[in-house]
Chains A and B, each alone.
Chain A
Amino acid sequence: MNDILLRTARKLHNSKKYRTFKTFTRDCLTDDKNPYKKYLDIGIIFLIFTSIFILVHEVKHPVPVWMDFYDFYIVAVIFALEYLARLWIHNDISEMILNAYQDAKFIDKSFSAIDPLKKGLIEKAYFMVTPSAIIDLLAIFPTYRPLRLFRVLKLLRYAKSINQFVEVLSSKRFELLTLLLLLLFIVFTSGIAIYVLEEKINPHINSLFDAFYWALVTISTVGFGDISPMTIEGRSVSMVIIISGIAMISFATSVIVSAFSEKLHEVKEHRTIEKINKSDSFLIICGYGQMTKMFLRRENLSPEHYIILDKDKGRVESACKEGYNIILEDASRTEVLKRFDTTHAQVTLLCLIANDIENIYITLTAKAISRKIQVITRVNDTRMIKKFEHAGADHMLLPHEVVNNMIHIAITQPTMYKALHAVLTGKDVAQVYEIHVGIHEKLIGESIESLDFKEYKLLFLGIQRQGEFLFNPSKEMKLEAHDVLLVIGRKISIEHFRMLHKGDA
C-alpha cells in the first residue's frame, strides 16, 4: 500500500504534463489575471441562466425533450467537472506524500503514506463544507427540481458586491449574533406561552410549530393574520412581542447601517485600488500638497493611471472635491503599498510630502517591497541627499535648488531664461527630446551625417552613451544600441523622425 501510493505520487510529481495541466486549471479557476478565466466564467454564467430559464419555463409549459436532456446531462456534467476540478486543485496530495517521505528519510524514520494522505483528504473535506463548495455540489443534481434553485446561488461566486456585503455584515458579527439570540429567546418563550395558553381554544394553533410561526410573524411586525390570539392572556403576550419586535428591528437596522457607513470608504478604496492594478503602468503620489496640485494640473492624468495617498482627512476631502483619485492611507505602511500590483505593472512612486523623514521612510518601504518600483522623491534639505541615495531613490527633486537656479538664470542669462523656461516647462513649441536607439532598430550603425537632422528641423545636441554625454560628436560617429540621442525641436518633427527610423533592421 505504502509502495503503491509513493510510486504514484512520484510519478505524478515527475510528470511534466500533469503538473502543467494542474497549474493551468488552477489559474483558469482562481487567478483573476488569467485570460481564460473570463471565458470560463462567462460560460458558467451562461449555463446557470439557461438552466434557470428552463426551470421557470417548466412551471407553466411543457418542456421539449432536448431541453430536459441539456439540463439533466450537459449542465450537470459541466458543473460536476467544475466541482471536481475545484476539489482537485484545492491541494496537492502527491506533493504532501513526497514531502512526508523525504522528511521521514531525513530523520531515518519508518515512512507511512497514510498520514499525509489522511491530512490531504481532511483538507479536501474542509473545502467541501465551505458554503460555496456546498452550493456547487447541490447545483449538480438536477433530478429534484427545487434543488436546481441552488444554481442561482452559484452566481454568488461572480457577484463581488455580495461578497462585500457579507464581509461588512460579518464585521458586526457580535452585535448581530446577540440580536439573533435575543430574537430566538423571545420567539421561544412567547411561542411556548401562546401554545400553553391557547392550544385548546384557538383552532389555528395545532402544534408547537404553529405557535413559533405565529411568534416570529408577530415579532417581525409582518403579521399575516392567519393566526391571531383569542384570549386576553394571549393578546397581552402579543402586545409585549410587538413592542419588543419594533425595538429589535430598529436596533438591527442601526447596526447594519453603521456597519456600512464604517466600511463604505474601505469598500470604495478597495475598488479604486483594484481598478488601478488593472493598468500596466501607474503613479502613486504620496501627499496632496501644493506640489501635487501643480503636478496634477500640469499632467492631466486619467484616473486609472494615478492614485494619491494622504493620511490627512481634510486634505483627502478637498482632493475629493476637486475630483482627484485619492484615498486616505498612510503611504509609509508596508501593507498599504503592498496592495498595489508591483509585479505586473510599472509603478512609479512620487514622494511629494514636505517632510524629508517621511519621504525617506516611504522610499525605503517601497524599495523593500520591490526594487522595480521607481521612486522620485522631493528633498527639502540638501543635507538629506546622501540618505535618499542610500534609501535607493531613483530621482531626487530639490524644489529650493530648482527655484534658486531659475532665479539665477533669470538674472544672469535673461534670454536663456525664456528659452529654458520653455524647454523645461514644455510650454513652447520646441522642446528637448530623447530618441532611444533600441536593440533592433534601423538606426544602429548609421552615421550621424547620414541622419541629416536639419532636414527634420531638429537640432542635434549629442549622444548619451553608457552614462557619458558626448557633445556634438563628429559626423562620422556611428550609432550604437542603447544610445540616447538628445535633440531640440518641435513635437511633430520628432514624431516624423521616429516614424521614418522605426522598425527592424
Chain B
Amino acid sequence: MIPSKNKILIFGYGNHGRHIAKGLQEDGYVLRVVEQDENYYQQALKDNFESDLIDMKEDEELNRLNPHHYDQVVCVMDDEHHNVFLTLSLNALFPNLNIVAISDSIYVTHKLRLAGAKKVIDMYEVSANRIHNILHRPIATKLIKEFVVNKHGITFMEMEIPKGSFLHGRMIDEINFSKYDVLLVGVVDFERHKGFEFVTSGHEHHLDEGDIIVCMGDVEKLHQFKEHIEEEEESL
C-alpha cells in the first residue's frame, strides 16, 4: 500500500524522531531526516535514512531542503524551543506547509499553533487522556490501542471512494457492509462539510465519489474490500 501522500520531511532524530521514522518507513513512505546534532545525524545515517545535517538558524539551509516539495513536515526535535523556532521559520519561508509538531505542555501547544503548525500533538495531554480512558474504559482503551497499532489482524483503514465505484450515489443504509466482513465506522462527506462523522451520528448519508469512508475489520478483508469498491457492480 503506497499512500498518496508519501514524501515526508522529519526534523529531529531523537527520542521521538527515530521511532516515528521507523514506523513510517515500514508503511512505505519516502523519508528525509534532518538533524542539527552530529550524533543523531550519524545515527540516522547508520539506520539507512537519507539525512542532512544543517544549522536550523540559517534560512539558507532550510531553503535548500525544499520543504514545499514534501507532503508533510514533522517537527519532533527533543528540545521544544527548537520545534517552535523551526515551525515559525518554516512557516515564514513557505506559508502553506503541512506541519505536524510535538509539544510537551499547553503553553508550547499554543505557541506552536501560533507559529503555524497544522497539527500539534501534546504529549502530556494525550497521556492524561489515556489515563482517563484506562480508568473509565479499560477494555475499550486496550482494544482500540491494538486496532490502531496493528499491522495485522483487526484495524482501521480509510479509503476514498474511487471514480465509478458502485458505492457512488447510494445511501449508507442500502449497503450491507457485514457481508464483506468489514464495519463502516464513519464518513467524511464532502457534500455536507469537511469533517469526519461517525455513522451513528444519525444523519442520512449519501455516498459520492471522493468521499472518504473509514472502515474497521481484518486487514486482508479491508484490502479486499478496497479493491472491490473500485468495481462498478456489487458482485456479492
Contacts and interface: CB of A to CB of B under 8 A. Distances in A.
Contact of A417 (B8, B20, B106, B119): B119
B202 A420 contact: no
A469 B154 contact: yes
Most-contacted residue by chain B among A417, A434, A472, A489 (CB, 10 A): A472
A350 B127 CA distance: 12
Contact of B144 (A294, A424, A430, A490): A424
Contacts of B74: 407, 411
A399 B127 contact: yes
Interface stretch (A22-30, A241-249, A454-462): A454-462
Interface string B114-126: 0000010111111
Contact of B132 (A298, A395, A417, A484): A298
Contact of B24 (A408, A433, A486): A408
Interface in B112-142: 119, 121-135, 137-140
A231 interface: no
Nearest to A490: B200
B57 interface: no
Contact of A298 (B24, B105, B128, B201): B128
Given A290-B105, A458-B200, A490-B200, A416 B214 contact: yes
**Range of interface residues on chain B?**
35 or more
Contacts of B198: 419, 430, 459, 488-489
Contact of B134 (A397, A423, A433): A397
B83 to A, nearest CB: 12
A290 B124 contact: yes
A413 B154 contact: no
B5 to A, nearest CB: 8
Interface residues of A, number: 62
B17 to A, nearest CB: 9
A505 interface: no
A408 B20 contact: yes
Contacts of B137: 432-434
A407 B139 contact: no
Chain A interface helix/strand/loop/mixed: helix
Contacts of A458: 200
Contacts of B199: 459
A409 interface: yes
A407 B29 CA distance: 14
A404 B16 contact: yes
Given A293-B124, A472-B178, A350 B131 contact: yes
B217 interface: yes
Contacts of B186: 419
A411 B75 CA distance: 12
B144 A423 contact: yes
Nearest to B213: A415
Nearest to B159: A415
A471 B217 contact: yes
A403 interface: yes
A295 B100 contact: no
B45 interface: no
Interface in A395-429: 395, 397, 399-420, 422-426, 429
Contacts of A488: 185, 198, 200
Contact of B124 (A283, A399, A407): A399
Given A376-B134, A404-B19, A434-B140, 19 more contacts: A294-B128, A295-B127, A376-B131, A395-B138, A397-B127, A404-B20, A405-B148, A407-B76, A411-B29, A416-B156, A417-B119, A418-B196, A420-B148, A426-B133, A434-B139, A457-B202, A461-B183, A488-B198, A493-B200
27 contacts: A290-B105, A291-B124, A293-B124, A395-B134, A397-B130, A400-B123, A402-B123, A402-B127, A403-B102, A403-B123, A405-B148, A405-B149, A407-B20, A412-B24, A413-B158, A418-B196, A420-B144, A425-B126, A429-B201, A430-B201, A434-B138, A459-B198, A464-B139, A471-B183, A471-B218, A472-B183, A489-B200
Interface of B: 3, 5, 8, 15-16, 19-20, 23-24, 27, 29, 72, 74, 76, 100, 102, 104-106, 119, 121-135, 137-140, 143-145, 148-149, 154, 156-158, 178, 181, 183, 185-186, 188, 195-196, 198-202, 212, 214, 216-218
Instruction: List the 9 closest pairs (A to B, CB-CB), nearest first.
Output: A294-B128, A295-B128, A430-B198, A294-B124, A399-B127, A290-B124, A404-B19, A425-B129, A432-B140
Interface of A: 283, 290-291, 293-295, 297-299, 348, 350, 352, 376, 378, 395, 397, 399-420, 422-426, 429-430, 432-434, 457-459, 461, 464, 469, 471-472, 484, 486, 488-490, 493
